[in-house]
């Protein structure tokens, strides 16, 4: 049965029915009652073997609001959800949704973006469907589980040359009161630490120690400590007088937009900010063992570390072999 009660200036609705317990807060009592009534009706329909009269777009919107928002990569998922809501798949009724619709979406997206991008979006859509099956009773089966996934692309091997680094930093400038210059600092810091862009821009001063920084919100959900080189320490010392917190005074969106502009002005093509992670770990591999490297990068699967993020040139391996 639904329970509606006023808490402060908001109305809290609680539903406990058919083994499901959910709650939400609303500005008005009418909104709370409407939400609880709708949810109870959906639970009854599910109990009797019926899929609610909803569209796939409504499923995605709910996933974005209820599930994505609690994730570390919330912004990226919500951008994907917003884009998907404009796709024909969003208009399909859940009772009609089948593998044919998933296949049509796959083929449509493969004409627009790379297989790697399709696979990332595929994962989000599939997880949303599984959530709707297990927790909401909105689907009986996952249509994406019955369709062939695109072939996984060959891992990127892009390295960053010293000449490119010099050109990029020249364009960024030295005035750290400007966001573009701080993007240059973030770029250098990434090359020294192998940290992801999101980890760098969320870094705060109380997570920085004499020998390392503590990453509390990593992509895999596991915190880790990242040791600091002398150059990394020097970057932090240059930023400290600015008094910004987070340290770099940047948002993920600023890094994305400004790094694209810097690349264009520096005539650097085919480079992503995330390629700094590969460059950093490949360089660090000359100093650290593979287990030490994994500890620093946060990888729990050594296959991913070696296939995706460790990309030495054969000349580097030859030189190291002969030096021994």
Active-site hit among 170, 219, 231, 240 = 219
Phi-psi region at 155: left, alpha or beta (left = phi > 0; alpha = psi -120 to 50)? beta
Residue 23 CA neighbour count, 13 Å, CB half: 11
Q: Provide the token pair at 6.
A: 């006023």
- Catalytic, out of 182, 263, 299, 310: 299
Catalytic residue among 196, 207, 277, 278: 196
Catalytic, 196? Answer yes
Catalytic entry in 109, 277, 309, 310: 309
Angle, helices 115-131 vs 74-84, to 10°: value is 90
Of 128, 160, 124, 159, residue with least CA distance to 142 = 128
3-class state of residue 148 by DSSP: coil
Exposed/middle/buried for residue 22 (C-beta within 10 Å: 0-12, 13-18, 19+) = middle
Spatial contact of 172 and 186, defined as CB atoms under 8 Å apart = no
Tell me whether residue 212 is one of the annotated catalytic residues: no
Residue 134, judged by CB atoms within 10 A of its CB (0-12, 13-18, 19+), counts as exposed
- Active-site residue list: 196, 219, 299, 309
């Amino acid at each position: 049965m639904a329970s509606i009660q006023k808490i402060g200036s908001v109305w809290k609705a609680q539903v406990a029915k058919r083994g499901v317990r959910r709650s939400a807060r609303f500005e008005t009592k009418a909104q709370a009652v409407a939400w609880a009534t709708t949810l109870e009706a959906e639970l009854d329909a599910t109990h009797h073997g019926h899929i609610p009269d909803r569209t796939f777009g409504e499923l995605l919107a709910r996933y974005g609001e209820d599930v994505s928002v609690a994730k570390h990569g919330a912004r990226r998922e919500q951008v994907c959800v917003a884009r998907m809501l404009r796709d024909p798949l969003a208009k399909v009724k859940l009772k009609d949704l089948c593998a044919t619709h998933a296949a049509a979406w796959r083929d449509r997206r493969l004409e627009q973006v790379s297989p790697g991008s399709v696979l990332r979006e595929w994962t989000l859509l599939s997880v949303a469907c599984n959530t709707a099956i297990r927790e909401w009773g909105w689907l009986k089966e996952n249509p994406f589980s019955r369709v062939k996934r695109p072939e996984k692309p060959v891992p990127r091997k892009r390295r960053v040359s010293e000449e490119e680094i010099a050109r990029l930093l020249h364009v960024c400038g030295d005035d750290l009161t400007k966001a573009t210059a701080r993007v240059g600092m973030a770029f250098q810091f990434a090359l020294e630490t192998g940290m992801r862009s999101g980890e760098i821009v969320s870094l705060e001063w109380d997570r920085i120690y004499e020998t390392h920084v503590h990453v509390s919100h990593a992509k895999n959900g596991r915190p880790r400590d990242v040791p600091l080189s002398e150059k990394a320490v020097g970057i932090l010392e240059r930023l400290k007088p600015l008094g910004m917190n987070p340290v770099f005074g940047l948002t993920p969106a600023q890094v994305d937009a400004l790094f694209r502009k810097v690349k264009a002005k520096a005539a650097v093509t085919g480079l992503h900010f995330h390629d700094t992670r590969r460059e950093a770990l490949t360089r660090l591999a000359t100093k650290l063992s593979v287990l030490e490297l994994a500890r620093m990068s946060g990888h729990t699967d050594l296959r991913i570390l070696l296939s995706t993020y460790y990309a030495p040139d054969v000349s580097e391996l030859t030189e190291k072999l002969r030096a021994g």
